Structure 1
């Protein structure tokens, strides 16, 4: 009888041991599964970090390329401005020669009334008229060249302004008011989302965005990394309701309130008071070049209307212009030609300033 009781107890102990062995094996399997999942998550995080570092290097390279383009545009502006000045100077010389020819023609016509050798004077008049026509053709040709140079100059200025605006937007981190994108993927464990648009669609680093579902704003984001066709934005703590979550496909729009604009508003206002006394004008030194630095070097007192060769990037304009020139003066701002010499001297045939030829014998 005792051996039966002992056999029953032994069987019960074996059954309990088998149950605990089976339970421990299931727990071990679960722990191994959790360990594998943790290793996978760690590997994915490392891969994302590597991708982020690569994107950062690409953005730095893009910024360096943009700065090179800006510097090249500055050099092109300086070059075009110098060429425009040279053409204006040549045009002023040609216009001066034209004025001399006109004065000489008038003088010759007056001499005809009192002259004795009519045929000689007529031949001289015809020669001067031909020279006048040549000079007028040269003036028209030079005017066309100046107009072409000005068009190219304006194009370079516009391209430079576009590059500057894009760079300023990137520094401020403010997206357009009508910007929209979608959430490509959201990672709640790290509180960041991947967006479907990048810098080629108007996304900038540090931009403030809002996630909308229908007409309701459910969360706010701040852009951290930007790529060509995608970007990464962090969830701003406290903006997502507890128990809610950002979903793939949610609409992302520009935030109604941009932190960059707040910083701009809080910047101390340095504008002078309306009744403050204006600073005394700066008189340029004698012999200073006519062209000011187009990238911000200070110039003299600003004129009411900027001349053609003024700074296209906002530097102070050149000194105020002199009183209005006579009707036959250079329309591009060059000094008026000197008065024709007495005695009806012939036109200076060299348009670049050579000494006039001696007067023909009467």
Structure 2
């Protein structure tokens, strides 16, 4: 009987030792999983803080953009004032040119029906001097007029370019010539990082097309812009079925859709 109890005691001890060993292994696995979870939480928190900082930096850059737009507007006003001044100078030069031409015609007319040579010689010398002076003045006026016309043309071109830049920034559209790529994709947060920024023509708030193989596969909404990069949210329901955005996808300004002709639509 004592042998039976001894055997049972040995069995119970073995079972207890086995359960304790398994509990220890489970505890070690649980501790390892907990450490990994802490590391993932730390990494996620760091990434989130970095993204918050980038967004704040982008907002500061956006405010600087507003200041730059004000400065561009002032420059446009100055260019317009210079252009108006140049136009007035051209009108004045044309009046001087016409006056000199009239003087030249009068001088040529005075040489007709010459009087007595003794009286005419001093007069001829004086008229020739006046004629030379008038001719030189006309040539100078023509040169100044041509220069002012060039200034006028250049001023108009600069005004047009400045207006187009201001209109693009004010309308919230990126430059039509923009072509860049996705550098990073954050699927869990629904946004991407672009390899282009303000210098390349990305405008905050604009809509962009994501292309692959020449086809539009998704649309992006720019949320923040820096000098050389930008962040953009993926527009909901814009991603083509079965498509996943990835780094390297081409990004361009949103294509303008052609509006139907009312007469054609009516037919």
Superposition TM-score tier, normalisation by shorter sequence: 0.7 to 0.9
Cross-structure match for 2:120: 121
Cross-structure match for 1:191: 190
Give the 5 Å matches for 1:1-362: 1=2, 2-86=5-89, 88-93=91-96, 95-100=98-103, 102-103=105-106, 105-107=108-110, 109-110=112-113, 112=114, 117-175=116-174, 179-214=178-213, 216-240=215-239, 244-256=243-255
Distance 2:247 2:97 in 1: 71
- Give CA deviations for 1:143-179 in whole Å, capped at 9, x if unaligned: 2112112212321221221122122223334346675
Sort the Cα spacing of 1:103 and 1:230 in 2 relative to 1 into closer, same or farther, 3 A. same
TM-score of the two chains, using structure 2 as the length reference: 0.79
Contact kept, 8 Å, 1:98 with 1:132, in 2: the verdict is no
Consecutive unaligned residues of structure 1, counting only runs of 5 or more, are: 266-362
Sort the Cα spacing of 1:82 and 1:205 in 2 relative to 1 into closer, same or farther, 3 A. same
Q: What secondary structure, in the 3-state scheme, does the structure 2 residue paired with 1:232 have?
A: strand
Distance 2:148 2:246 in 1: 56
How far the C-alpha of 1:54 sits from its partner, in A, is 1.7
Q: What secondary structure, in the 3-state scheme, does the structure 1 residue paired with 2:112 have?
A: helix
Contact kept, 8 Å, 1:188 with 1:245, in 2: the verdict is no
Distance 2:193 2:111 in 1: 85
Q: What secondary structure, in the 3-state scheme, does the structure 2 residue paired with 1:109 have?
A: coil
Distance 2:241 2:90 in 1: 71
How far the C-alpha of 1:71 sits from its partner, in A, is 1.9
Distance 1:257 1:95 in 2: 51
Structure with the bigger percentage of helix: 2
Contact kept, 8 Å, 2:217 with 2:238, in 1: the verdict is yes
Consecutive unaligned residues of structure 2, counting only runs of 5 or more, are: 261-267
Give the length in aligned residue pairs: 257
Q: What secondary structure, in the 3-state scheme, does the structure 2 residue paired with 1:229 have?
A: coil
Distance 2:211 2:90 in 1: 59
| Moved segments of 4+, more than 4 Å | 175-179, 241-244
Moved more, 7-16 or 155-164: 7-16
TM-score of the two chains, using structure 1 as the length reference: 0.61
Moved more, 186-195 or 243-252: 243-252
Sort the Cα spacing of 1:77 and 1:178 in 2 relative to 1 into closer, same or farther, 3 A. closer
